Copies of this chain bind each other. A is one copy, B any other.
Amino acid sequence: VISVSELFAAAPNAHLEDVMHKNPPYVYPEVDQERVASIALHHRHNAVAVVDHHHFLLGTVPSDALMHILRREHVEDLHRLVGIGRESDVAREALELPPLRRVRHRLPWLIIGLLGSMMSALLVSSFEAELTRNVAIAFFVPGLVYIADAIGTQSEAVAVRGLSLSQANLRHLVRGESRTGMIIGAILGLLIFPFVWIFFADFNLAIAVSLSLIIASSIASTIGMVLPWLLQRLGTDPAYGSGPLATIIQDILSLLVYFLIVSIFVF
């Protein structure tokens, strides 16, 4: 393979063999477009050859097509991350569609989220006795759920972009992320402990909130890594693993951890 401009720049008496690129990057026709763009980036080539299974050249993906792929994958990742369905390729149109059309693209994931919300309501209601005895337990629910989510979402974003590129195995990756989550949880747990103790004058509750934060953070970062990996394994875009579904799973697990720990420590 050689580009026309390189051919132009070569010395007049050079042999083609000496100036051409040997072993250029190539793909088969059924390869995902994001993979094609990654190959081009990796090899620092601005076009990728497409060959059939006998290695006959079928054509090339030129650089302007590669650039459009990269932009489209960017918008697609953002949309999947927040649970917007197959919207138009052009982000600008999403901003200017009539509201009812936008609703249709966004509602499906939100309805799944609503089912999750109903589950979370039933879960919290099953700890009604604990809440009645000490209503202060309810004060920390939104904060704890928020923090675990924020940590889990960070892991998901790292996983979504990184999984397809990294050569390390899952166990190694999960160990790294869950340790990260545990360290973050421990630091935040230490910071919130005096706050709860001083403002709410309840030592046991302070212990329970801090401990829940550590455990929920570790779980959140583990799930945030495993879910995108699982989706990739199932042949789906791992970006779905960081959308509203992942959040509601995180929320329910965080609530479960918190109420279980609270029912051990506070009574």
Contacts and interface: CB of A to CB of B under 8 A. Distances in A.
Interface of A: 3-5, 7-8, 37, 40-41, 44-46, 62-64, 66-68, 70-71, 73-75, 77-79, 81-84, 90-92, 94-100, 102-103, 106-107, 109-111, 113-114, 116-118, 120-122, 124-125, 128, 131-132, 135-136, 138-147, 149-151, 153-154, 156-163, 165-166, 168, 173, 176-177, 179-180, 183-184, 187-188, 191-192, 195-196, 199-200, 244, 247-248, 251, 255
A3 B191 CA distance: 60
A227 to B, nearest CB: 14
Give the copy number: 2
A209 to B, nearest CB: 9
Given A114-B188, A122-B199, A138-B141, A166 B103 contact: no
Contact of A153 (B82, B157, B251): B82
A112 to B, nearest CB: 10
Contacts of A147: 110, 113-114, 117
Given A106-B184, A184-B106, A176 B95 contact: yes
A188 B184 CA distance: 35
Contact of A4 (B4, B128, B157, B158): B4
13 contacts: A3-B5, A4-B8, A8-B8, A44-B64, A63-B63, A70-B74, A78-B78, A102-B176, A111-B188, A118-B143, A124-B141, A141-B141, A142-B251
Q: Is the interface of A mostly helix, strand, loop or mixed?
A: helix
Nearest to A38: B71
Q: A81, A92, A146 — which one has the most chain B CB atoms within 10 A of its CB?
A: A146
Contact of A106 (B103, B144, B154, B163): B154
Closest 5 CB pairs of A and B: A117-B143, A4-B5, A91-B161, A63-B63, A95-B162
